[in-house]
Structure 1
């Protein structure tokens, strides 16, 4: 397969390979450059090799490959099949000037969210600081939020309040059990993933993207990356006491979480493309990553607050109530995970069974329920 790289032109990718610069000023890239296959340092664009063909066949998505293997982030595959790590995540010393660190985040974030052209652009909007700053950068773009139809979900409530505070046009996408049963096989086919966590996360993204596409938009701006880059997860607050991370410091745990992005992002990218839109993720631009990597622990997460630098950076850009709002993970805030579990149990996959939701998903994809 020969196709220009996604996410950057060939010359930019070529220069990054030759220089070894892991953050060359892009939003990520993957593809073929001079006969070499590449995937950027954070894996913001997916690229799959076919293990059944000794890696000679490849695609941007796993569909149609006999044994799809996600290429490791930061890797170049030479024409002879040899693989080498070209880029690794920078590890700068923490910035000691807190004001300068927040200013750097502010400049990087605001430049990035204002950069995308607004033509054909909609915003996935959950009412938290991440999606709010993305929306602030695209003031003419309509905002979309998903939630289960028979209940006012946390995300819908938060999005309504935030949209009112920001005077934004909000479209609520209400999904029901029929929608879930229809979408799950499509998501699994597109992403190659059928585990309950990935499908639960993908469902609301799919519904928002599907509605935006039906309304005539071909790009969807998302807030992906902010939680990882800026210390948004509870597990980074006291990592020495949290079994979910190996690191013992806030910065170490944050870095550990950032390094999970190359595995997570293909799910989101492929889900959105399957629903008919191209993802736009301004908070994952190299300039934002660079600013975030230098943050000290005190500007990442404490017992009292998380994403500290990001919240300070958007002061005056995002309303205070929205800037300080806490959010649930999308699969819980939209009730997607809850209703997926309910459908599994209704289909006879009881909680006492091992991975009952995963078994239900496999049966649904196979047409057995």
Structure 2
């Protein structure tokens, strides 16, 4: 059962029914973790079998021996069937021993993956797909906000509470933009690293420019751009970085680098479509380049389009007649699979991933806004564009059309149609 894999951090929990597990679990990490801490393995003999939790223990943590990511607020579960409290924020999977069970909890938006599998008297969870797959189990992802209890007697899962519409926001567009800025800064604080420098996956567009501007209040920021020769990003990222006054590290890549990236990610996650492979390759390469510079965190703008109506499809009427807010609310769970893909690619590239837009409070606030604060005429993400102007971004960024990274970087055409 010796499984080799390399990512920034990982935790695995196993429950064995009736017999002990003799060989060791896969190592929790192959790299030095940000913030220190020591690898650990805890074994507990339960009434009907054995429980094992392997991971990385942060100093001073008692009840939660492992937090994969960043957890702010209260994650206390008062009763076995409890779901995740709305007080818990950040991007995390946290796990601990509780009585004769292992407990694992995934954050509200799914910024950190959590997989579960059962086979031959063994139940297991892991924050990475590869170890369970290499153990010849058949892992499946748990939904965002899920609470998992693993014991020798089996698996129990508490499903998440959906994000509901809140009371309608009655302020002006300027006031809404100010509130979004406040919540974005709060999201960054909940994900705060012990790092002097963070990298931003940078396309020169609205979302990544806003993120970089906000992050610059907390850290030294380096913009990282990866693109193919002749792509739109080759020039636009340089112009946008000059406007922001931030350092840009850009890398031109070709087909060989993209194929090597995808080979490195082979078997780590199901990258099936050309779009999935393009995004995964791009984030892996950006993460690799940032890690080579000694940077440990790569921040990306995933979630902004899903929460603030950035996609072109939101301009068209819904086939079932749903209004915009209800459509956003119902489609938000689909964001989770993209976050799993991108977190995996970034982690295997050598950096810790962060997705500050993918925050429950930002989603709840967006769902309280009038339709016109999200879409006005043919203009999408209206409130983010107003915020961009309020924080001093130039109009060429604030008013820029959405640029899908896989196309604007040119990586999509390098990936091609093959698996």
TM-score class, shorter? 0.7 to 0.9
Determine the C-alpha separation between the residues in 1 that align with 2:203 and 2:79: 37
Work out which of the two has the higher radius of gyration on C-alpha atoms and give 1 or 2: 2
In the TM superposition, what is the alpha-carbon distance from 1:298 to its structure 2 partner?
1.2
> Over residues 182-208 of structure 1, what are the superposed CA-to-partner deviations in whole Å (9 max), with x where a residue is unaligned?
111222332233332211111111111
Q: Is 47-56 or 214-223 further displaced after alignment?
A: 47-56
Match of 1:45 in 2: 112
Q: Is 57-66 or 192-201 further displaced after alignment?
A: 192-201
Q: Judge conservation of contact 2:232–2:408 (CA < 8 Å) in 1.
A: yes
Q: Structure 1 stretches of 5 or more lacking a match? A: 342-356, 362-369
Task: Note if 1:313 corresponds to 2:387.
Answer: yes
- Between Structure 1 and Structure 2, how many residues are aligned? 338
Instruction: Pick the structure with more helix per residue.
Output: 1
Match of 1:332 in 2: 407
Report the CA distance shift for 1:162/1:25 in structure 2 as closer, same or farther (over 3 A): farther
**Alignment equivalent of 2:317, drawn from 222, 239, 245:** 239
Match of 2:142 in 1: 71
Task: Note if 1:253 corresponds to 2:327.
Answer: yes
**Alignment equivalent of 1:142, drawn from 213, 219, 222:** 222
Report the CA distance shift for 1:82/1:15 in structure 2 as closer, same or farther (over 3 A): closer
Q: Judge conservation of contact 1:327–1:333 (CA < 8 Å) in 2.
A: no
SS at match of 2:361: helix
Match of 1:289 in 2: 363
Determine the C-alpha separation between the residues in 2 that align with 1:326 and 1:167: 21
**Alignment equivalent of 1:189, drawn from 267, 288, 299:** 267
**Alignment equivalent of 2:294, drawn from 216, 219, 230:** 216
> Over residues 329-362 of structure 1, what are the superposed CA-to-partner deviations in whole Å (9 max), with x where a residue is unaligned?
1111111111222xxxxxxxxxxxxxxx2xx22x
**Alignment equivalent of 2:89, drawn from 26, 30, 38:** 26
Higher relative contact order (CA 8 A, sep 6+): 1
Report the CA distance shift for 1:53/1:198 in structure 2 as closer, same or farther (over 3 A): farther
Task: Note if 1:101 corresponds to 2:190.
Answer: no
SS at match of 1:50: strand
Q: Judge conservation of contact 1:299–1:309 (CA < 8 Å) in 2.
A: yes
> How high is the TM-score relative to the length of structure 2?
0.74
Determine the C-alpha separation between the residues in 1 that align with 2:398 and 2:72: 38
Determine the C-alpha separation between the residues in 2 that align with 1:104 and 1:138: 17
> How high is the TM-score relative to the length of structure 1?
0.83
Determine the C-alpha separation between the residues in 2 that align with 1:292 and 1:182: 39
Match of 2:75 in 1: 13
SS at match of 1:7: strand
After TM superposition, what 4+ stretches of structure 1 lie above 4 angstroms from structure 2?
8-11, 15-22
Q: Structure 2 stretches of 5 or more lacking a match? A: 1-12, 14-52, 56-65
**Alignment equivalent of 1:132, drawn from 200, 209, 213:** 209
Determine the C-alpha separation between the residues in 2 that align with 1:67 and 1:119: 40
In the TM superposition, what is the alpha-carbon distance from 1:21 to its structure 2 partner?
5.8
Report the CA distance shift for 1:155/1:114 in structure 2 as closer, same or farther (over 3 A): farther
Determine the C-alpha separation between the residues in 1 that align with 2:321 and 2:158: 26
Q: Is 20-29 or 305-314 further displaced after alignment?
A: 20-29
Q: Judge conservation of contact 2:178–2:387 (CA < 8 Å) in 1.
A: yes
Instruction: Pick the structure with more strand per residue.
Output: 2
